[in-house]
């Protein structure tokens, strides 16, 4: 009888404890910045079933199975990079559809990213291969722009109008609607506007945005025509601080001024994206432009093997550059989370609303003396730098630099190594 009573008591205690632990993960004591919900305060974030369950000033630790100490850290929605190149593994040499691309999982979580968007590395001809080779195998959430040029950024220059078929690109987008977010045109240096016109037509056929890497300009093809006649509200002009674009600034003079067409384009609803890359972010453009108040709508890296080993580095480093140029902290987080989510029409991402997918990034904002390089290798001195401490995707800890979400080894339960099966 006594044994039975003890058993009932133990089961009751277990039931109470299980009921009390209503959250799978609890992030405690961090400074939450959630621009969509206008949260900028010390708060706790609870996660259950892969979703955000609660954001509140104080949530008891005993309600969670696992607690992450976020003291001294920023807690933000999972970071989103809308300009990357991920079509790796083809074996092709010297092109983005090959050795210049990177596999997403090696560069996402460790830099705070939960979502990466490939910026048109694959076109409508080879998108199926890109999907099965990279997108469907990645733990990272990988989305993509489809290049209007058939084989994307491959061995052939992206200049042949015969390879720019909007109907084909639109059909690929429809068949892959779960991952395609729009269309890309890049690296065009031929006559006229076939790449932009083709991408915009595909966008109209599918109600999706276009991202434009404007490339080389001519007297006929310039940003005036692009902003006033070609692009629609919601289309994205990437590489907004590049020195290679037509008349962004009057460079080479002490009184370098922002081209008024940049503001005209913004008023028309065109989105301006960083797209740092290996040749598309220069201090002599970014400094005067931001001094005039022209800030990007979204921060992105243009990640590839060249940019990551040169001035760009990674996503937190790119965020740090915009912060050190003088953008408010809250705006930098917005440019890295909620804004890009809206730009790619994935408003289920980029925020910490209860019920939303539990993508969360914990960032350390370091103070000190730091040097930041642009695409030319020139240094800009700054006093703040972001570092990714913890990355959580869908409620699962994917990156934990200092073991904040981990159990101390002395109380950790190690499982025995099982013997291999006998032959």
35 with 333: CB under 8 angstroms? yes
The count of domains in the chain is 1
Structural domain includes residue 373:
no
Rg (CA), the chain: 24
Structural domain includes residue 110:
yes
Instruction: Look at residue 133 in the predicted model and tell me its pLDDT.
Output: 98
Instruction: Look at residue 107 in the predicted model and tell me its pLDDT.
Output: 97
Sheet holding 79-84, edge to edge: 79-84, 113-123, 141-147, 180-185, 210-212, 236-237, 271-272
Query: pLDDT of the chain along its 423 residues, tens only?
Result: 445 444 444 444 444 444 567 999 999 999 999 999 999 999 999 999 999 999 999 999 999 999 999 999 999 999 999 999 999 999 999 999 999 999 999 999 999 999 999 999 999 999 999 999 999 999 999 999 999 999 999 999 999 999 999 999 999 999 999 999 999 999 999 889 999 999 999 999 999 999 999 977 888 888 999 999 999 999 999 999 997 665 566 544 556 788 889 999 999 999 999 999 999 999 999 999 999 999 999 999 999 999 999 999 999 999 999 999 999 999 999 999 999 999 999 999 999 999 999 999 999 999 999 999 999 999 999 999 999 999 999 999 999 999 999 999 999 999 887 777 776
Cα–Cα distance list, 333 to 5, 336, 351, 363 (Å): 55, 5, 11, 10
Burial string for 259-281 (b: 16+ CB within 10 Å, else e) reads bebbeebbeeebbbbbbbbbbbb
Structural domain includes residue 413:
no
Beta strands 39-48 and 25-34: pairing type?
A: antiparallel
The domain containing residue 191 runs over which residues?
Answer: 78-353
Neighbours of 204 (CB within 10 A): 13
Structural domain includes residue 365:
no
CA 289 to chain centroid: 23
> Which two three-digit tokens encode residue 321?
């550059």
Instruction: Look at residue 259 in the predicted model and tell me its pLDDT.
Output: 86
Neighbours of 233 (CB within 10 A): 10
For the chain, the distance separating the N- and C-terminal CA atoms, rounded to the nearest angstrom, is 50
Structural domain includes residue 52:
no
How long a stretch of residues is the chain?
423
Burial class of residue 30 in the structure, from the number of CB atoms within 10 Å of its CB (0-12 exposed, 13-18 middle, 19+ buried): buried
Structural domain includes residue 113:
yes
Structural domain includes residue 198:
yes
CATH number of the domain where residue 245 is located: 3.20.20.140
Structural domain includes residue 42:
no
Burial class of residue 105 in the structure, from the number of CB atoms within 10 Å of its CB (0-12 exposed, 13-18 middle, 19+ buried): middle
Neighbours of 220 (CB within 10 A): 9
């Amino acid at each position: 009888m006594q044994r039975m009573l003890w058993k009932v008591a133990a089961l009751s205690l277990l039931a109470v404890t299980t009921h009390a632990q209503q959250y799978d993960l609890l992030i405690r004591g961090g400074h939450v910045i959630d621009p969509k919900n206008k949260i900028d305060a010390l708060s706790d974030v609870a996660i259950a079933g892969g979703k955000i369950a609660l954001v509140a000033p104080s949530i008891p630790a005993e309600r969670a199975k696992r607690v992450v100490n976020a003291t001294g850290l920023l807690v933000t929605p999972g970071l989103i990079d809308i300009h990357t190149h991920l079509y790796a593994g083809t074996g092709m040499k010297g092109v983005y559809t090959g050795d210049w691309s990177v596999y997403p999982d090696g560069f996402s979580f460790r830099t705070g990213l939960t979502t990466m968007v490939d910026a048109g590395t694959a076109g409508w001809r080879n998108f199926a291969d890109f999907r099965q080779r990279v997108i469907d195998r990645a733990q990272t959430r990988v989305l993509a722009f489809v290049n209007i040029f058939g084989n994307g950024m491959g061995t052939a220059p992206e200049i042949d109008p015969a390879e720019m078929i909007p109907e084909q690109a639109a059909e690929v987008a429809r068949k892959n609607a779960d991952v395609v977010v729009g269309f890309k045109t890049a690296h065009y240096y031929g006559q006229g506007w076939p790449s932009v016109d083709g991408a915009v037509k595909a966008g109209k056929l599918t109600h999706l945005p276009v991202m434009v890497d404007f490339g080389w300009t001519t007297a006929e093809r310039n940003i005036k025509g692009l902003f006033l006649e070609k692009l629609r509200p919601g289309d994205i002009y990437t590489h907004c601080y590049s020195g290679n674009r037509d008349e962004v600034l009057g460079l080479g003079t002490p009184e370098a001024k922002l081209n008024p067409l940049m503001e005209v384009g913004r008023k028309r609803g065109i989105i301006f994206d960083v797209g740092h890359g290996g040749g598309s972010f220069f201090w002599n453009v970014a400094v005067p432009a931001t001094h005039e108040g022209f800030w990007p709508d979204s921060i992105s890296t243009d990640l590839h093997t060249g940019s990551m080993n040169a001035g760009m580095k990674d996503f937190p480093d790119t965020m740090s550059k915009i912060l050190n140029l003088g953008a408010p902290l809250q705006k930098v987080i917005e440019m890295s989370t909620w804004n890009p989510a809206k730009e790619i029409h994935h408003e289920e991402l980029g925020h910490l609303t209860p019920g939303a997918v539990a993508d969360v990034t914990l960032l350390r904002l370091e103070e000190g003396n730091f040097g930041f390089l642009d695409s030319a290798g020139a240094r800009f001195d700054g006093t703040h730098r972001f570092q990714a401490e913890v990355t959580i995707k869908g409620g699962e800890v994917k990156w934990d630099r200092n073991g904040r979400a981990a159990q101390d080894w002395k109380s950790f339960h190690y499982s025995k190594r099982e013997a291999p099966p006998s032959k």
